[in-house]
Homo-oligomer: A and B are copies of this chain.
Amino acid sequence: MTEDVRSAAAPTLEDVARAAGVSRATVSRVVNGVRNVDPAIQEAVRQAVAATGYTPNRAARSLVTRRADAIALVVSGAAADDAMEEAGPSPSGRENGAGEGQGRDDGGGVDDEDGETDGGSVSFTARVSADPFFGRVVTGVVNHLRPRGMYPMLMFAGTARARDEVVSYIRQGNTDGALVVSAHAEDPLPSLLTEAGLSAVLYGRPTRPVRISYVDLAQRDGARLAAERLLERGCRRIVTITGPLEAPVGQDRLTGFRETLARRGRPDAPAVEGRFSQESGEVAMARLLAEHPDLDGVFAANDLMAVGACHVLREHGRRVPEDVAVIGFDDNGVAAACRPPLTTVRQPVEEMAGAMVDLLLERLARPSLPVTSVIYEPTLVVRDSA
């Protein structure tokens, strides 16, 4: 289809204009789809574009439009404290690996500060690669952006330093907006972004009500689905491993779960807080087992913790699902890979990530648009564990 000659220097508007016998301005109008161009000329220009193999120079365009034509995808995480001020413990459980090497390289040197040794970043980075959830968000965004000819600039904001750099990078106009997925509650990034007047869309309801668009799942409905399934199976002694309770997801999944149980006359399901990691799920399960040896149903607030729970249950001689039914949340790859395959609440992460893209792009196209939120419905995926 493209059999043209493509010489060394990339063709410019000028070249196309000459080939079409019109002015640069007209070519620009055609290329940008601006009205008021004679159809005949329009066609001629299109031909010239094809013949020359013209593609707009983004730098030149950005220079005048003041748009970067790029967006940021930031995986955010650490709370206000980190690298430099690791001291104060956060409200709830802390990530174990955090805190080595802090305070290193404060000089602001631009050299050799690697994530592997960067204070506070270790556990953040580890969690991000360990939980398939983040990978799903990223692939969802990338795949949805691709047909639009765009690729996201990927950023991690795992430390206060990294976060500030990200914010100023975006403020400087290097991207037109940001998609952010937080690995932590109390993430100051959303506020920083909106305060700076930048367009952003979140994955998940922000902890504090900040005026920002977001895409979320009807978390409580998901938890309800899990509770009902456990109830239907005839579980009598149901417990739950929650997510971090300072985060909205953690709270919502717990309350949705408890509400359903309470409505069926089973208030006060025992709960132990986890941190969404497999290990925290194991610890929580062990504790629940010790305190409630007669338990026969477990709802873990994500798949990773459910997998950890299964491991511990088996080590304690309990069969899943015969002795204890287990339900996870997310429906990540680990759920299907688990033994037994996990019954879980599915969150259409990739789709939701795509919705984030749409929301942001619409907002950028029409900044006057109001802040919006889109809520997806979860579904129960029944496999073997419950």
Interface residues of A (CB under 8 A from B): 10, 55, 57-60, 62-63, 68, 70, 72-73, 110-116, 118, 121, 125-126, 128-130, 132, 134-136, 138-140, 142-144, 146-149, 151-156, 162, 165, 168-169, 172-174, 278-279, 307-308, 311, 314-315, 332-333, 337, 339, 350-351, 354
What residue of chain B has the Cβ atom nearest to residue A126's Cβ? B333
How many angstroms from the CA of A174 to the CA of B150 in the assembled complex? 11
B279, A151: Cβ atoms under 8 Å? no
A147, B111: Cβ atoms under 8 Å? yes
Known: A114-B144, A139-B128. A153 touches B153 (CB 8 A): yes
A63, B72: Cβ atoms under 8 Å? no
B142, A114: Cβ atoms under 8 Å? no
B354, A114: Cβ atoms under 8 Å? yes
**What's the dominant secondary structure at chain A's contact region?**
helix
| A168: B residues at CB distance < 8 A | 55
What residue of chain B has the Cβ atom nearest to residue A133's Cβ? B129
B151, A116: Cβ atoms under 8 Å? no
Q: List 25 A-B contacts (CB under 8 A).
A: A10-B172, A55-B168, A58-B59, A59-B60, A59-B68, A110-B148, A110-B149, A111-B147, A113-B146, A113-B147, A116-B143, A121-B143, A125-B143, A128-B135, A129-B136, A130-B132, A132-B132, A142-B154, A149-B165, A151-B153, A151-B169, A153-B153, A154-B154, A307-B337, A314-B339
How many angstroms from the CA of A374 to the CA of B72 in the assembled complex? 31
How many angstroms from the CA of A368 to the CA of B114 in the assembled complex? 27
How many angstroms from the CA of A196 to the CA of B314 in the assembled complex? 55
A-B pairs with lowest CB-CB distance, top 8: A115-B143, A59-B62, A129-B135, A130-B333, A113-B147, A151-B153, A59-B63, A154-B154
